[in-house]
Structure 1
Amino acid sequence: MMDAVFQTLNYYLSEHPSIVNFRWSHSQSWGSTWSFLFSSIVFYLGFCAFVHLFLAILLRRGRVVPLGPIPAVHSLSMALISVTIFAGILLSTAAEIQETRWFWRRSKTPFQWLLCFPLGTRPSGRVFFWSYMYYLSRFLHMFRTFFTILQLRKLAFFQLFNNSISIFMSFLWLEFSQSFQVLAILLATLAYSVVYGYRFWTAIGLPSACFPFVVNCHMVLLGCNLACHVGVLLLHFMKGGCNGIGAWLFNSVLNGAILLLFLNFYVKMHLENNKKNKKKRHHPVITEEEMEKFKRED
């Protein structure tokens, strides 16, 4: 029975004709044009600024907009989507390696292929189908920004920048058949599965971790991405070139900017926590409002 279940999942996640025959095309793939990419990012930034300004005018400072179960439903949906993409690209990667290894086996191992696509790779087939699904899921991820604006009344620059760059980079992966994207999606969807599962866990009232769980997960993800980028650079010069290296270089610059911003936020968070801990030694009582704010920030 388990074998039959696995075969069914394998068919729908890696062998379905829509997946096997996928091709990234400006005329056939929704959201695949440069004009759509830039207009969607501009609309996202503009609409977030409008909502924040509108609430600042309409509501007095400190008041929040109750959202009920919407954040919990969103977190559960994103966790399930992330798990599906992770499983899909994992099975698709195994199938692609098995079917195309003859083409590059003399120059690369399977792990090297994950980091460095052979020159001439086209954005078609299984792994690019799931790369496209990941690209589309970034638009759903954007809703977290509106929850932050409505619940915390904050318009965080890092969140806006990170979400915009995430969409831009996932578009580049498809447009230029960029190397490293398979490992990047595997790492990202694994991290998002855990993060959104945790957010759903806390949103329904279950106990939260005693440390900033989400922030630390993002820190681990950025560290893994940094190590993989070094691997791509080494393989590019040692193995005769990697496909989409120009897009990868631009991607690396954007990832570096995100890493610096996140490190700045991470250091400030720890400094603020140290100050709070010192105050708690003198005033150990924590109000319900402070506890709720800490949970939302995580």
Structure 2
Amino acid sequence: MIKSIISTAQYWLVKHPKINNFEWIEGETLGATPEFLFSTIVTYLSITFMLYNLHLPPIKPKFLKPFSASHNIVLLLMSLTMALGCALSLWEHFPNINYMICFPKGTPPKGPLFFWAYIFYLSKMVEYIDTILIIVSNSTKRRLSFLHVYHHTMAVAMCFFSLHTSQSMFSSVLITNSLVHVLMYAYYFCCSIGIRPRWKRLVTDCQLLQFWSSFLIMGVICYSHFTGPGCSGMWGWCFNAFFITSLLVLFLDFHNKNYSSSDKIKANQMKKIKQGS
């Protein structure tokens, strides 16, 4: 039974002709040009700026929540599928650990691993809807920040350069990020249907853990590149190193502002309770 499920998953997520024969070709594959990347980012920033400054009346929750719930469940399922598909694609190369860590120089962006990297790239554009939902729900002051817009803008560029340069170990980043997004969109889905889970902080902590693990992954690539014949996609690695470092700094600041103060409040409340008892 289990073997049958795994075999079916391997076919539909790895060995299906559309996936197995995928190839990222600049100018032919949808979104595979710098012009497309640039226009997508400019469009996102323009729409965000326009909606933010128009001060439109918020959409009523009874109309917004069903759409928000659908959006969150779609991204949850997409993230889960990408993580599973990429993990099964990596498993196809086991026990060739070297290939999982370091693509040989000149590796073309084709095959199942790059198919899921491409879906990951497209999913980052779907996530732009997050920003629109924040603005039209009238929670802009509480949730829309420079970190949010910067993250959504640069994530698309990161995915593009990873595909464009056939970056080694990008699949590991994809899996960790997708798993964190499963947790994050599960939380947002619960909120959109009126359930407020108590593990909001866990989402942020997992995001921070993801960034630290990304440094480990990038360190492994760097070591393999300079101690061996070289790895594919080091220019993509340089961009990712800058992006992840900047994100970590911003997330640490966000974490301290949002949770350090709440921890102090709880500590003071406990102190008052003890003093009163």
TM-score of the superposed pair, with normalisation by structure 2: 0.89
**Count of residues paired in the alignment:** 268
Aligned to 1:161: 150
Aligned to 1:115: 101
| CA–CA separation in structure 2 for the residues paired with 1:47 and 1:278 | 42
Aligned to 2:42: 42
Superposed, 1:1-298 pairs within 5 Å as: 1-55=1-55, 58-59=56-57, 65-66=60-61, 67-95=64-92, 97=93, 109-110=96-97, 112-151=98-137, 152-154=139-141, 155-209=144-198, 212-274=201-263, 276-277=265-266
Cα offsets for 1:106-127 (capped at 9, x unmatched) = xxx51x4323211121101110
**Structure 2 unmatched ranges of 5 or more:** none
**Structure 1 unmatched ranges of 5 or more:** 102-108, 285-298
- Between the aligned residues of both structures, percent identity stands at 30
| CA–CA separation in structure 2 for the residues paired with 1:276 and 1:39 | 45
Aligned to 1:287: none
List, as ranges, runs of 4+ consecutive aligned residues in structure 1 with deviation greater than 4 Å. Answer: 278-284
- Residue type of the alignment partner of 1:251: N
Contact kept, 8 Å, 2:65 with 2:192, in 1: the verdict is: no
Question: Shift of residue 162 of structure 1?
Answer: 0.4
TM-score of the superposed pair, with normalisation by structure 1: 0.83
| CA–CA separation in structure 1 for the residues paired with 2:3 and 2:199 | 40
Contact kept, 8 Å, 2:180 with 2:203, in 1: the verdict is: no
Contact kept, 8 Å, 1:202 with 1:208, in 2: the verdict is: yes
Question: Shift of residue 211 of structure 1?
Answer: 5.3
- Report the secondary structure of 2:65's partner residue: coil
Distance 1:275 1:253, change over 3 A: same
